[in-house]
Amino acid sequence: MRAPAWLPMPVRRALRVLRRYSRVLGRRFEHWSAPARRQWRRSLQLRIVALTLVASSVLVGAFGFFVAQNSARILLNRAQDEVQSSLYEKTKYASSQLSIYLQSRDPKLPQAMRNLTLNALADDDTAESGGSIVAMRADLYTSLDPVISAKVNTGELITPDMIKSVAHDGQIAQQVRTATVGGKRIKYLVYGSPLPTGFGHVELYYMVPLTTEDSAANQIRTTVLVTGLALVILLGIVAGLVTRLVVLPVRDAARTAQRLSAGLLDQRMRVDGEDDLALLAASFNQMAANLQRQIVRLEEMSRLQRRFTSDVSHELRTPLTTVRMAADLIFSEREEFDPAVARSAELLQAELDRFESLLTDLLEISRFDAGFAALDAEHADLVPIVERVADRLAGLADRVGVEIELRVPETPVIAEVDPRRVERVLRNLVGNAVEHGEGRPVRVTLACDDAAVAITVRDHGIGLKPGEERLVFNRFWRADPSRARQTGGTGLGLSISAEDARLHGGWLEAWGAPGEGAQFRLTLPVRAGDRLLTAPLPLIPRDRDLVIEQSPAIEAPAVAETAADETAEVL
């Protein structure tokens, strides 16, 4: 946020410097506090203990403050009661002694006030040793000087407001004041009372130190503070121990779940006791045992299924070869047969080709399932591979009235790939695009950067419905099984293509929209084993972007262009 222009230049510079240093301090604080914040997020026990300590500290602090304040108030009230009782006795005695003087100018009156103050009314302990102070004043009579039982300046203890209340208003007043006596700051409880005489009244002030009460209050505060701290620490320890009893089984369950997810199906939690946590551990172990049995059963079924597919594929090879030889012989002599028999020979030859392609695909799928598929990578130029695929599918494209457009760089595009597998992927993609192109052109685009090579195959056919871009790579899946087909594929081509892309460490993604066609993108790393982060070509075609800009009502399907995680999910 910029400083307002109307501020002076020095102020704006100071604000800029302040903002810069605040950002630096903020970054340093985030860096320093990162371990603590990370531990706070990860540790349930730490959060519970910290919250318990905070809550208990607040409660104990409030209770301790209440106890300390009430104790101090009780001590003060007790001191007030004692001072009031003593002041009443002193006032009564002094009044009886001074009532014999009828004139304030009686020459004996000052001495009588002095004798009363220093001898009769004063306590045994002096003010310097912690005793009380008695003062007698006569502010209404200028002829009488104040008399104090100790050599102490009472100006800090007897304030003008208190003198006004006692001398002029004739009221009993009290206050708590602090004064310096003997070089020490001492708190006093000061009482003032009018003293009736024969000529009017004078004022009697009684000042009692609160040293004992202050000491007792401080001891109470210290005791409450120490007890509160010990109680908070004890609550923290108890909270930590109780939380540990709950957190340890949870951590054990988390570790066991992680091991189970990693494939260690024999891992179990330890069961101690018969409480709720033990019941949880036993239930978790039972669930893990059931999951292990189901997973083992599914793995066995999957293994049997893969073995069955592989065995059947291999076993069908021998009779297929025999049938192929007979069919080839019949097909070569079809000109000598009747038209119906000749047509049957042609149909037999076509279906045998399709059956042989199906067996080849099943064998390839069984290799991927068994983990026997290996990548024979070498440095190859992808431009001739793309052109070769287009040439081989030119005949099919001519029959269905589709034009194949190539957009490839004029310079070689070298990548470390398996040429046979890349050509197979492109053959499947381009063949599907020609088949589903509805007579419109199919565009094949090749691009590369320093880390990746991308090939897109774009058609303008019926497209894909929302969600089908994730289903097209499933085995034997078809968008419209009832639709007439020209090539008679097996339904395994895209599944094998996805496995070939994954074997390269690459992506095979699909995009489509109803009535706008589809686009498939194959992305491979330039160097085998590198991790892909982005693709040189977008997954959503640029002509699709133009359609979206011209027709805002058309909503594009959710497609991840370059996210590796979502791409892996698509595959």
Q: pLDDT tens track of the chain, all 571 residues?
A: 565 667 777 777 888 888 888 888 878 877 787 888 787 777 777 888 888 889 989 998 999 889 989 998 999 899 899 989 998 998 999 888 888 888 888 888 888 888 888 888 887 777 666 788 898 988 888 878 888 888 888 888 888 999 999 888 888 999 998 888 877 888 899 999 998 888 888 999 999 998 888 889 889 989 999 999 999 899 889 888 888 887 888 888 888 888 888 878 788 888 877 777 788 888 888 888 888 888 888 878 777 766 776 677 667 777 878 887 888 888 888 888 888 888 888 888 888 877 777 777 777 777 777 677 778 889 999 999 999 999 999 988 988 889 999 999 989 999 999 998 899 899 989 998 998 888 899 999 999 998 999 999 999 988 888 888 888 888 777 665 544 444 445 677 888 888 889 988 999 999 998 888 999 999 999 998 888 888 999 998 887 644 433 333 333 333 333 333 333 332 2
Report the candidate in 425, 355, 360, 433 with the shortest Cα–Cα distance to residue 396: 433
Query: Which pair of tokens denotes residue 542?
Result: 């640029």
Say whether 4 sits in a helix, a strand or coil.
Answer: coil
| Residue 303 CA: distances (Å) to CA of 263, 297, 564 | 17, 10, 30
Say which DSSP state 349 is in: H
Q: Where are the beta strands (DSSP E) in 361-486?
A: 378-381, 404-407, 414-417, 442-448, 452-459
Name every residue whose Cβ is closer than 8 Å to that of residue 73 and which is 6 or more positions away in sequence.
Answer: none
Q: Where are the domains of the chain?
A: 95-216, 268-372, 374-570
Convert the pLDDT of each residue in 310-348 to its tens digit: 677 667 777 878 887 888 888 888 888 888 888 888 888
The CA angle 463-469-475, to the nearest 5 degrees, is 110
Helical residues (DSSP H) of 208-266, grouped into ranges: 211-261
pLDDT for the residue 555:
35
Rounded to whole angstroms, how far apart are CA atoms 195 and 94?
7
Residue 527 burial by Cβ neighbours in a 10 Å radius (0-12, 13-18, 19+): middle
Q: 493: helix, coil or strand? A: helix
pLDDT for position 2: 60
Task: Please state, in angstroms and as integers, the Cα–Cα distance from residue 434 to each residue in 208, 408, 428, 524, 541, following that order.
Answer: 111, 19, 10, 23, 17
Confidence at residue 272, expressed as pLDDT on a 0 to 100 scale: 78
| Half-sphere exposure for 434 (CA within 13 Å, toward CB) | 28
Long-range contacts from 48-53, C-beta under 8 angstroms, 24+ separation: 48/239, 48/243, 49/236, 49/239, 49/240, 49/243, 52/235, 52/236, 52/239, 53/232, 53/235, 53/236, 53/239
Q: How far is CA 10 from the centre of its chain?
A: 41
Is residue 459 within 8 A of residue 433, CB to CB? The reply is yes
| CATH class assigned to 268-372 | mainly alpha
Q: What confidence score (pLDDT) does residue 524 get?
A: 93
Q: Burial of 535 by CB count in 10 Å (0-12 exposed, 13-18 middle, 19+ buried)?
A: buried
Q: Do domains 268-372 and 374-570 have the same CATH topology?
A: no
**What is the pLDDT, as a whole number, of residue 508?**
92
Q: How far apart are CA 436 and CA 236, in angstroms?
A: 70
- The answer to whether 509 and 567 have CB atoms below 8 angstroms apart is yes
Q: 512: number of CA atoms within 13 Å, CB side?
A: 26
What fold does the segment set 374-570 form as a domain?
Heat Shock Protein 90 (3.30.565)
In the structure encoding, which two tokens stand for residue 126, read together?
A: 């002096």
pLDDT tens, 228-252? 999 989 988 988 888 888 788 888 8
- The DSSP symbol for 335 reads G
pLDDT at 483: 46
What per-residue confidence (pLDDT) applies to 309?
67
How many other CB atoms are found less than 10 A from the CB of residue 502? 15
Q: Starting from the edge strand earliest in sequence, which strands make up the sheet with 452-459, in order?
A: 404-407, 442-448, 452-459, 517-525, 507-513
What top-level class would CATH report for the domain 95-216?
alpha beta
pLDDT of residue 406: 93
